[in-house]
Amino acid sequence: VKLENLESLMLRQNKIECLPEGVPGQAMKSLTLFHISSNQLKVLPGSLPDCSSLEKIYANGNEIVRIPVGIGEKLTNLRTLNLSSNKLESLPEDFLDRFGEPNVENGICEKDDF
């Protein structure tokens, strides 16, 4: 299956605990929206930073404790990252290097906050 033209991946409210390796990933070259809210994820996929076209990530309402290294360095088009209602313990250094300390009131980061 070729997914290089896929622009939106909507997987919200499915009780997903983990995603298959590479989903989302490098094969999804056109992906701009990843919506995985209201599931049971503990971590965002390590392949997520390979989706260089991503502009919006909605991962609120999960059990996420960490986000993958590379989000700050590789996702240069990222404008919105919603991580509200999770269990984040820390943010990767590359995220903090790029964006500084975001205003995470309500757990929502917008480009203006960076």
CATH of the domain at 27: 3.80.10.10
Q: Is the pLDDT of residue 112 over 90?
A: no
What's the number of domains the chain is made of? 1
Q: How far apart are the first and last CA of the chain?
A: 36
pTM of the entire structure?
0.84
CA atoms within 13 A on the CB side of 41: 30
Domain that holds residue 80: 1-114
Is 98 within 8 Å of 74 (Cβ atoms)? no
Least confident of 19-23, 64-68, 71-75, 105-109: 105-109
Is 64 within 8 Å of 41 (Cβ atoms)? yes
What is the C-alpha separation between 67 and 102, in angstroms, rounded?
Answer: 15
